[in-house]
Chains A and B, each alone.
Chain A
Amino acid sequence: DTGVSQNPRHKITKRGQNVTFRCDPISEHNRLYWYRQTLGQGPEFLTYFQNEAQLEKSRLLSDRFSAERPKGSFSTLEIQRTEQGDSAMYLCASRRGTGGDYNEQFFGPGTRLTVL
């Protein structure tokens, strides 16, 4: 048990609907990362937060995607007007530190999204 939790674990939706995922990091971790993983591939970076500040967004994160981390605690990832290409596993990870250090990153179990 890594201590990072994600909800829901599975989400099936119809194309065009909006979905929201939640990540609860390990409590003392100030950095939180979102990744996306498609079948047979390694995870790809989407965005990360230092406390409540979103510091970097990948070009993979189109304007249909938005992420927040209010009060530097849990984070949400919302996808608007879902498309079939959004079907993937969405992974959340957290770690201590401010970057430029040697701290380990811990992952949650992921949310598997299927867009019909």
Chain B
Amino acid sequence: KQEVTQIPAALSVPEGENLVLNCSFTDSAIYNLQWFRQDPGKGLTSLLLIQSSQREQTSGRLNASLDKSSGRSTLYIAASQPGDSATYLCAVSGNTGKLIFGQGTTLQVKP
């Protein structure tokens, strides 16, 4: 059974810092790994999708890496801003496309 773990559960940093969020999964037989952002009481916004054959994806200040063999992914956020404050969720999918999520990392960026 696939399990996804995210560390840390919560993180507070001053504005401008670079930071790394971690995600690990137990079964390496995945098709995709997707990172999402969720604001309080809202739905999920897709940030980055990494296909199982890829090593990383970049979008603006965000960079996500994938090491499928070790079951790990990281989301790197450069030059953090208060507007980055949210919960970040990692999810993996297999051949049905259904997503298995971690519990999320709640990020607070202080001005």
Please list the residues of chain A having a beta carbon within 8 angstroms of any beta carbon in chain B: 2, 6, 31, 33, 35, 40-45, 48, 55-56, 91, 93, 95, 97, 99-110, 112
The answer to whether A44 and B95 have CB atoms under 8 Å apart is no
- Please tell me which one of the listed residues B31, B41, B96 contacts residue A112 in the complex, with CB atoms under 8 A apart: B41
Chain B contacts of A107 at CB under 8 A? 36, 43-46
The answer to whether B103 and A42 have CB atoms under 8 Å apart is yes
The answer to whether B96 and A99 have CB atoms under 8 Å apart is yes
Query: In whole angstroms, how far apart are the Cα atoms of A41 and B100 in the complex?
Result: 12
The answer to whether B100 and A104 have CB atoms under 8 Å apart is no
Can you give 18 contacting A-B residue pairs, CB < 8 Å? Answer: A2-B45, A6-B43, A41-B104, A42-B89, A43-B101, A45-B98, A45-B100, A48-B97, A91-B43, A99-B96, A100-B31, A100-B95, A104-B46, A105-B99, A107-B44, A107-B46, A110-B42, A112-B41
Please list the residues of chain B having a beta carbon within 8 angstroms of any beta carbon in chain A: 4, 31-32, 34, 36, 41-46, 49, 51-52, 89, 91, 93, 95-104
The answer to whether B101 and A105 have CB atoms under 8 Å apart is no
B92 CB to closest chain A CB (Å) equals 11
A43 CB to closest chain B CB (Å) equals 5
Chain A contacts of B103 at CB under 8 A? 40-42
Question: Which residue of chain B is the closest to A103 with respect to CB atoms?
Answer: B97
The answer to whether B31 and A102 have CB atoms under 8 Å apart is yes
The answer to whether A109 and B43 have CB atoms under 8 Å apart is yes
The answer to whether A108 and B43 have CB atoms under 8 Å apart is yes
The answer to whether A95 and B97 have CB atoms under 8 Å apart is yes
- Please tell me which one of the listed residues A33, A40, A42, A109 contacts residue B97 in the complex, with CB atoms under 8 A apart: A33
